[in-house]
């Protein structure tokens, strides 16, 4: 082999080695956690984006009966992972992953238009910083569970969906026990795990200024995406791209 060919072969070997190393650093498991008034089916677009790229994606179905129940449901799915995972939470699901994310299975956290309480703070406590927008109106039922006001549902929850899709989301909403929103977080995984954050710039359920201040407070790598509170549903590729970035960077950024 002449000198030029030897040089090319050596360069190819180095490139292959680096490529293999980078691939090994990518977390392959993704666990998606929904928030209040919804279920896991809203993640379908994000699921399709990520599985098409070879990720193994699991979706938690939170019962929304208590904060402890939702954390347990998330931990149950984490326990099934065959290696490190990126844990993703939307809205109230951000509170859930803040607690459940302390698991040794979790390599990184992604918050999507989500709450990220401090230890000793509840989901609802975060609204003390910036009040919820006017069209976000939970209505408590006699049994302590809450639904969102039907007339204001689209404006407050899913403003960038079609009227038909918003009506389906409204009529299939899953009520949440208000006690779950009042329960205090006891651990803060974002203090020990690298975090990413998606700000939904048109959010009608959590004011964008609260989303931004939350992202800054937890030190998350932040991406702004034009979308409503259900940005994961209406902008699945943009959200999946952030999750992919977390999967590729979490192990390198481990705190």
Cα separations in angstroms, 122 against 210, 218, 224: 15, 15, 25
pLDDT value of position 4: 36
Maximum separation of any 2 CA atoms in the chain, in Å: 84
pLDDT tens digits along 89-137: 999 999 999 999 999 999 999 999 999 999 999 999 999 999 999 999 9
pLDDT value of position 255: 62
- Go through the domains of the chain in sequence order and give each one's CATH number: 27-249 (3.40.50.1820)
pLDDT tens digits along 52-98: 999 999 999 999 999 999 999 999 999 999 999 999 999 999 999 99
The yes-or-no verdict on residue 225 having pLDDT over 50 is yes
The yes-or-no verdict on residue 18 having pLDDT over 60 is no
Q: What is the CA radius of gyration of the chain?
A: 20
pLDDT value of position 35: 98
The yes-or-no verdict on residue 17 having pLDDT over 80 is no
Regarding pTM above 0.95, the answer is no
The yes-or-no verdict on residue 167 having pLDDT over 50 is yes
Compute how many other C-beta atoms are within 10 angstroms of the C-beta atom of residue 218: 21
pLDDT value of position 53: 97
Question: Average pLDDT in the 28-43 region?
Answer: 98
Of 16 and 235, the structure prediction assigns the larger pLDDT to: 235
Question: Average pLDDT in the 137-158 region?
Answer: 98
The answer to whether the beta carbons of residues 255 and 192 sit under 8 Å apart is yes
pLDDT value of position 3: 37
Question: Average pLDDT in the 26-53 region?
Answer: 98
The yes-or-no verdict on residue 11 having pLDDT over 80 is no
Question: Average pLDDT in the 140-165 region?
Answer: 98
The yes-or-no verdict on residue 224 having pLDDT over 90 is yes
Question: Average pLDDT in the 2-8 region?
Answer: 34
- What is d(CA 124, CA 101) in angstroms, rounded to the nearest whole number? 20
Instruction: Give SS3 for 108.
Output: strand
Question: Average pLDDT in the 11-20 region?
Answer: 32
Cα separations in angstroms, 179 against 60, 227, 253: 20, 28, 35
pLDDT value of position 253: 82
């Amino acid at each position: 082999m002449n000198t030029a060919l030897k040089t090319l072969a050596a360069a190819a070997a180095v490139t292959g080695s680096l490529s293999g190393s980078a691939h090994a650093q990518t977390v392959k498991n993704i666990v998606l956690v929904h928030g209040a008034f919804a279920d896991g089916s809203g993640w379908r677009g994000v699921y399709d984006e990520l599985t098409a790229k070879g990720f193994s994606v699991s979706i938690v179905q939170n019962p929304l009966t208590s904060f402890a129940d939702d954390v347990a449901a998330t931990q149950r799915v984490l326990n099934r992972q065959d290696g490190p995972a990126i844990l993703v939470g939307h809205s109230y699901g951000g509170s859930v992953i803040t607690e459940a994310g302390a698991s040794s299975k979790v390599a990184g956290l992604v918050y999507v238009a989500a709450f990220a309480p401090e230890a000793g703070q509840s989901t609802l406590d975060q609204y003390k910083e910036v009040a919820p927008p006017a069209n976000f109106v939970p209505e408590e039922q006699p049994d302590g569970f809450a639904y969102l006001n039907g007339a204001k549902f689209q404006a407050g929850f899913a403003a960038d969906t079609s009227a038909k899709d918003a009506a389906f989301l409204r009529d299939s909403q899953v009520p949440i026990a208000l006690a779950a929103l009042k329960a205090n977080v006891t651990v803060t995984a974002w203090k020990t795990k690298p975090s990413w954050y998606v700000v939904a710039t048109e959010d009608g359920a959590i004011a964008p200024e609260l989303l931004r201040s939350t992202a800054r407070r937890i030190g998350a790598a932040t991406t702004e995406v034009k979308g409503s509170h259900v940005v994961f549903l209406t902008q699945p590729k943009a959200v999946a791209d952030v999750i992919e970035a977390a999967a590729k960077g979490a192990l390198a950024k481990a705190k």
